[in-house]
Structure 1
Amino acid sequence: MGHVFGAFTVLVCALFGVVITANGITVDVNDEVSIKSAARIVADGLMNYYHGNESGRIPGVFDGGYYWWESGAAWGSMLDYWFFTGDDTYVEVAKEGMLFQVGTDWDYMPKNQTLSLGNDDQGFWGITAMMAAERNFTNPSSDEPQWLALAQAVFNSIALVWDSQYCSGGVRWQKFVFNNGYDYKNSISNGVLFQLGARLQRYTKNETYGYWAEKVWDWESTIGLIDNTTSYVYDGGSIETNCQVLNKIQWTYNMAVYMAGAAYMYNYTESDTWKTRLDNLINTLDVFLYGNTNVLYEPACEPSASCNVDQQSFKAYISRWMGATIQLAPYTYNTLFPMLTTSALAAIRTCNGGLDGVTCGYTWLTGTYDGKYGLGEQMAALEVLQSQLIPYTVAPYTNDTGGTSIGNPNAGTGVLGSQTSSATSQTKDKAGAWIITCVLSAIAILTSIWMAMDGKGEAKKLQEWIRVESNYA
């Protein structure tokens, strides 16, 4: 009953008032200055969870029991905040944290994360690096890894572990054979590869990346993880069944990672095919809108108040990627922006908790703080609120529209090569693409031989994963 009353209150406020007050936070979503002022309060709250810049702490990592990937995602939220608001308060600390976590090979695979590193984990850091390139975030010094090259390194290293032996393709959830979940192929791990490929193609005009984006989409569709009838995006499948039995749970970020990737592909290709695919995904958004309120929620766990720490951050990504979709495919504005506005109004009403009176809660359906707080909750509120600044900002940059980040198409492949600016060296980038293709082919052959010799003896079972996920099925 509380959810229904809260949702009704949110709907009334959205219809009859654009000024929402939650203790110290007041926002008028029709006023740029007001949105920026409110976003500053929420961003400060997000950074309250960060202590990596303090003596004896680890730069780049948020404390509090959060997995490494969420720290990478949080820096993406702060990059958006800087870009949308122009506030450079956290620029240097974000830059330091992002560079500290690149690992010895400059590919966002630090050795201390090996025991829990998933392709999706690495992918979220790669997406943040791609954001830095597209946003013209402060470039590192010449002796440090560059944002575009880091995104390319992550893309390449994930593409290199494409596995055709099981499920006719796809990348596995986990990076290493000893990780629990190595037997699982999921939409988010393949989705970050898809989205990075789409974004790198648009940024560099190197269509090898687009080829891989098409390849991932075709695999997801063929295997049924993107339903060809409904366009629902399901979670994944196990190699134990050759992905013939799918886990059809739906998460906001699974759909959204493909929606934004499709928008990037449509923006670059201007093809009817990608417009249709994008439209079909947008048509599934009703799954993630509560009743007739137009407020985003996580249907797989939010109604039962059972979302875990990771899942409490998922609404940040759907909010971010709905905003990106609007920028890349402006015709979607009239459909998507009202959803973001209603959700932003609902989210800000939850930011009246904590000792400071402005801490944001998790569910946006109650009309007030629900007692749940943390990095994910604060990220989600920040992303959906700052999405209201989209009308005042420009689309992500490319090499041709002002992007200045330096790339290395060989990054992450183990092939030696200096970092080169693909903005001025398209020939070198195409040569790099040829190298990537050769290396990928060689690795695929070697991987197939190794797996044939190894069989299933080393592969971890999914018993613990299934036990956890069954709570949300």
Structure 2
Amino acid sequence: MMGTLIDYWYYTGDDQYNKLVEQALLFQVGDDNDYMPRNQTLTEGNDDQGFWGLAVMTAVEYKFPDPPPDKPQWLALAQAVFNTQAARWDTQNCNGGLRWQIFKWNIGYDYKNSISQATFFALAARLALYTGNSSYAEWADKTWDWMVGVGFIDQYWRVLDGAHIAGNCTDQVPYQFTYNAGGFILGAAAMYNHTETPLWKDRLNNLLNASTVFFTGPKQNIMSEVACEPVDRCDLDQHSFKAYLSRWFAAITKWAPHTYDFVMPLLRASAVAAVKQCVGGDNKRMCGLKWDQDKYDGTTGVGQQMAAMEVILACMIKDRPGPVKHDTGGTSAGGPASGGNDIGRVEPAPPNHRPITAGDQAGAAILTIAVLVGMVTGVGWMFVDEMSDKTMLQQVRGFQGSASASASASASAAFAAAAHLWSRRKKADQLVSEKPLAGVEAESKDRSRSAVLEKTQAEGTEVAETGRVRGESAGTQTRLSILSVGWQLGNRHDERGVTGEITMEPASSGSQSGAR
């Protein structure tokens, strides 16, 4: 968006927004003046940082008013972005290229996308052109060769979106977006102007021919985001993509004048179509997304406004001065080593807190005590009876006495319950324990038991010995469990009609089904 506002000043000469643009460009530079501010470390990608770099590079080339001397300068900021990104060039995966994301935890860290390469490539090419430093040109060559080698720029000069590193970047996502193609068109034009070689002219021309896929309508000359517009799948970012292709189509005509006759008919037709979409909103000036439709599509947003403004401004490029270089009127101060503290970093810098002093510790202790006293006082106040005749101190003392009495009562109740439980267990043991028999009494009981056994065996009936659970040996003592309230002991007949098995019967019919 700041790049769009710089373009607005460049094309119109209206400087009423310049201070706002300067403030915005400087506010996000971060601690190391490389557009990696702490407030964006959770979300910033290489493409995001790259767009900031391209914006300040535009400020350099168009001689946008320089910041005060005590502030970071536009050229130094662009160089800092380049330096930090060059250090992230990842040869361990896919033999090169920048990842989409800077920080490891962000979704997309495992993805290498064309727009991150495009912004880096275009920035390197423009720095080479402006400064004359061949190191930047070497990085531009390196980026181009990698894009072609990995297949992100295919044999038909289409710029594909990218690929995940898991497959060594061989399984490309085939979508084509305007800003991917536009970024490489911009960089190729800068490299052509810098080198003046047929190689870069051919590359530029081939990319331009492939970009006609983005122009539709009856005459195939109205710009469209073909990967998402026809199916209504454009997300918030994609609403602005046509702004960048429009901006860069116009910019290349200054570095490669032979492209003017190719791009200008496309820009003019798209501008006329875009204006027809700018009839929405309460003010009837909000622009829609689909320029190739005769009827307003009903959408509004910053991206749509940027795209419409850029394509309209681009139609005025012929009468505007060309971008300057360091030796042709450039004024912005550089810093070739800018961004040094962030070079190679893939995790945010730790907070730069000052050391904790003894005064800090004492202050923390005082605050802690104050908070605790406040909490205790607040809890006490909640328990004070405002209707009582007693003072607050007397009530607090009463709380202490009540608490002691409650604790004593609770202990007494617990002791009584334990004693009662022990008593019940003892009685249960006496009910079911088989006591040893001796002398005549034992002999008499054995005779009685034998007589009963002989009688029942004759009748074919099994008898369970009194006081013994079936299946246990004669010497085993069985103890009843202490049952819950609501249950009682009782006898029942088993499936064979024999009494004597210990069962649990519910005290009321209401709980019977749950017990079984």
* TM-score (normalised: structure 1): 0.72
Structure 2 residue corresponding to 1:119, chosen from 32, 46, 51? 46
Q: Distance in 2 between matches of 1:140 and 1:285?
A: 37
Partner residue, 1:188: 115
Task: State the AA in 2 paired with 1:354.
Answer: G
Q: Say whether residues 1:298 and 2:242 are aligned partners.
A: no
Partner residue, 2:143: 216
Higher relative contact order (CA closer than 8 Å, sequence separation 6+): 1
Partner residue, 1:206: 133
Partner residue, 1:315: 242
The alpha-carbon deviation at position 412 of structure 1 amounts to 1.3
Partner residue, 2:208: 282
Partner residue, 1:333: 260
Task: State the AA in 1 paired with 2:191.
Answer: M
Aligned partners of 2:33 and 2:77 also within 8 Å: yes
Q: Identity across aligned pairs (percent)?
A: 50
Partner residue, 2:484: none
Other structure's SS at 1:121 match = helix
Partner residue, 2:315: 388
Q: Say whether residues 1:264 and 2:190 are aligned partners.
A: yes
The alpha-carbon deviation at position 275 of structure 1 amounts to 0.3
Q: Distance in 2 between matches of 1:368 and 1:132?
A: 37
Task: State the AA in 2 paired with 1:258.
Answer: F
Partner residue, 2:157: 231
Task: State the AA in 2 paired with 1:104.
Answer: D
Q: Distance in 2 between matches of 1:123 and 1:238?
A: 20
Aligned partners of 1:82 and 1:91 also within 8 Å: yes
The alpha-carbon deviation at position 395 of structure 1 amounts to 1.5
The alpha-carbon deviation at position 161 of structure 1 amounts to 0.4
Q: Distance in 2 between matches of 1:306 and 1:156?
A: 35
Partner residue, 2:270: 343
Once the two structures are superposed, what CA deviation does each residue of 1:73-124 show, in whole Å capped at 9, x if it has no partner? x010010010111011111111111111111111000011111110000000
Q: Distance in 2 between matches of 1:398 and 1:108?
A: 23
Other structure's SS at 2:163 match = strand
Aligned partners of 2:158 and 2:211 also within 8 Å: no
Q: Distance in 2 between matches of 1:363 and 1:259?
A: 23
Task: State the AA in 1 paired with 2:144.
Answer: W
Q: Distance in 1 between matches of 2:295 and 2:63?
A: 37
Partner residue, 1:464: none
Partner residue, 1:41: none
Q: Distance in 2 between matches of 1:293 and 1:225?
A: 25
Please list, as runs of the form range in 1=range in 2, the aligned pairs for 1:391-470 lying within 5 A after superposition. Answer: 391-414=318-341
Q: Say whether residues 1:95 and 2:22 are aligned partners.
A: yes
Aligned partners of 2:118 and 2:184 also within 8 Å: yes
Q: Distance in 2 between matches of 1:160 and 1:324?
A: 28
Please list, as runs of the form range in 1=range in 2, the aligned pairs for 1:36-185 lying within 5 A after superposition. Answer: 74-185=1-112
Partner residue, 2:376: none
Q: Say whether residues 1:240 and 2:166 are aligned partners.
A: yes
* TM-score (normalised: structure 2): 0.66
The alpha-carbon deviation at position 367 of structure 1 amounts to 2.5
Other structure's SS at 2:112 match = strand
Q: Give 4+ residue runs of structure 1 displaced > 2 Å after superposition.
A: none
Q: What RMSD in Å do the two structures reach over aligned CA positions?
A: 1.5
Please list, as runs of the form range in 1=range in 2, the aligned pairs for 1:23-34 lying within 5 A after superposition. Answer: none
Q: Distance in 2 between matches of 1:102 and 1:149?
A: 11
Aligned residues: 346
Structure 2 residue corresponding to 1:273, chosen from 176, 189, 199? 199
The alpha-carbon deviation at position 240 of structure 1 amounts to 0.5
Aligned partners of 1:172 and 1:189 also within 8 Å: yes
The alpha-carbon deviation at position 286 of structure 1 amounts to 1.7
Other structure's SS at 1:410 match = coil
The alpha-carbon deviation at position 293 of structure 1 amounts to 3.2
Task: State the AA in 1 paired with 2:68.
Answer: S
Q: Distance in 2 between matches of 1:274 and 1:139?
A: 32
Once the two structures are superposed, what CA deviation does each residue of 1:120-160 show, in whole Å capped at 9, x if it has no partner? 00000110010111111110111110000000000111111
Aligned partners of 1:262 and 1:277 also within 8 Å: yes
The alpha-carbon deviation at position 237 of structure 1 amounts to 1.0
The alpha-carbon deviation at position 178 of structure 1 amounts to 1.0
Partner residue, 2:124: 197
Aligned partners of 2:99 and 2:110 also within 8 Å: yes
Provide structure 2 residue ranges, at least 5 long, that are not aligned to the other structure: 348-516
Partner residue, 2:369: none
Other structure's SS at 2:278 match = coil
Q: Distance in 2 between matches of 1:83 and 1:368?
A: 31
Other structure's SS at 1:237 match = strand
Structure 1 residue corresponding to 2:180, chosen from 254, 263, 268? 254
Aligned partners of 1:351 and 1:368 also within 8 Å: no
Q: Distance in 2 between matches of 1:363 and 1:195?
A: 28
Q: Distance in 1 between matches of 2:14 and 2:286?
A: 20
Task: State the AA in 1 paired with 2:231.
Answer: S
Aligned partners of 1:352 and 1:368 also within 8 Å: no
Aligned partners of 2:247 and 2:314 also within 8 Å: yes
The alpha-carbon deviation at position 413 of structure 1 amounts to 2.4
Other structure's SS at 2:5 match = helix
Provide structure 1 residue ranges, at least 5 long, that are not aligned to the other structure: 1-73, 416-438, 448-473
